[in-house]
Amino acid sequence: MPLEAGLLEILACPACHAPLKEEENELVCTGQDCGLAYPVRDGIPVLLVDEARRPE
Ligand SMILES: [Zn+2]
């Protein structure tokens, strides 16, 4: 299920407030030194730092 059009533009990383980019089943923070990847479940982004995948 694709994200609602325009939704990505209003979303920001809750950790650093950088914009997010959509990847397969994830929203990835574009912030340098952050890069957290947030899961998208049933088309709904889960923007919780506790749920995010940390970059290697
Ligand atoms: Zn971030």
Report how far ligand 1's centroid is from the alpha carbon of 1 (Å).
Answer: 24
The structure's pTM equals 0.84
pLDDT in tens, the chain (56 residues): 667 778 778 899 999 999 999 998 999 999 999 999 999 999 889 999 999 999 87
CATH class of 5-51: mainly beta
3-state secondary structure 1-55: CCCCCCHHHHCECCCCCCEEEEECCEEEECCCCCCCEEEEECCEECCCHHHCECC
Report how far ligand 1's centroid is from the alpha carbon of 3 (Å).
Answer: 19
Report how far ligand 1's centroid is from the alpha carbon of 30 (Å).
Answer: 7
